[in-house]
C-alpha cells in the first residue's frame, strides 16, 4: 500500500501524511517526490526534520536483515536509525543506508549512496557519498 500510494498520490503533502501513518517521523514543510521507498519493517527509525526536500525515486533503508537462512544473513545484519536534518535536499535516485545522518542544509547529489554522516552546509555526492564542497549559505 505504501509504495502504491507514493506513486499515485499527486500532492506531496498527502505523501507526507501517508509516511506519518506508516510510522515515519517527518516534520513540517517537507516535500516528498514520487516513488520514495522507505523501510517498511522499521519506519519509526526514520526521522525527517522540517523543510526537507526528497526528490523522486529515493530509498531510505534502516535494516539489512534477511528472512532467508543464509550464511550472509547470519553475519551481516543491522538495524540503525536514519536522520535527515532540517533544510536538507536529497537528489533524485539517492539511496540512504542504515545509520546515515544527513545534517542541516546538506545537499545530496543525484544518484548518491549515503552511509555515515554528511556534514551541514555541504554538497555531498557519489557512491559512496562524500563531501564535495562547502556551501556558502
Domain definitions of the chain by residue range: 2-134
Alpha-carbon span 22 to 40, nearest angstrom: 8
pLDDT number for residue 77: 82
Residue 118 CB-half CA count within 13 A? 37
Q: For residue 108, count other CB atoms closer than 10 A to its CB.
A: 28
pLDDT in tens, 18-32: 999 999 999 999 999
Nearest one of 93, 128, 129 to 111, comparing CA atoms: 93
Determine the straight-line distance between the first and last CA of the chain, rounded to whole angstroms: 39
pLDDT > 90 fraction of the chain, expressed in percent and rounded: 75
pLDDT number for residue 73: 76
Q: Confidence band (pLDDT; 50, 70, 90) for 111?
A: very high
> How is residue 79 annotated by DSSP?
B
**Does the pLDDT at position 83 exceed 80?**
yes
Q: Class for domain 2-134, per CATH?
A: mainly beta
pLDDT averaged over the chain?
Answer: 91
Amino acid at each position: 500500500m505504501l509504495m502504491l500510494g507514493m506513486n499515485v498520490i499527486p500532492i506531496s503533502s498527502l505523501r507526507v501524511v501517508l509516511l506519518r501513518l506508516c510510522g515515519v517521523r517527518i516534520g513540517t514543510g517537507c516535500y516528498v517526490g514520487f516513488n520514495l521507498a522507505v523501510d517498511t519493517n522499521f519506519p519509526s527509525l526514520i526521522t525527517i526534520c522540517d523543510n526537507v526536500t526528497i526528490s523522486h525515486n529515493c530509498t531510505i533503508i534502516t535494516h539489512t536483515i534477511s528472512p532467508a537462512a543464509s550464511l550472509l544473513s547470519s553475519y551481516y545484519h543491522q538495524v540503525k536509525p536514519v536522520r535527515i536534518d532540517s533544510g536538507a535536499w536529497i537528489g533524485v535516485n539517492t539511496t540512504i543506508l542504515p545509520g546515515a545522518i544527513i545534517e542541516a542544509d546538506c545537499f545530496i547529489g543525484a544518484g548518491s549512496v549515503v552511509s555515515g554522516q554528511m556534514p551541514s552546509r555541504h554538497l555531498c555526492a557519489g557512491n559512496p557519498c562524500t563531501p564535495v564542497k562547502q556551501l556558502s549559505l
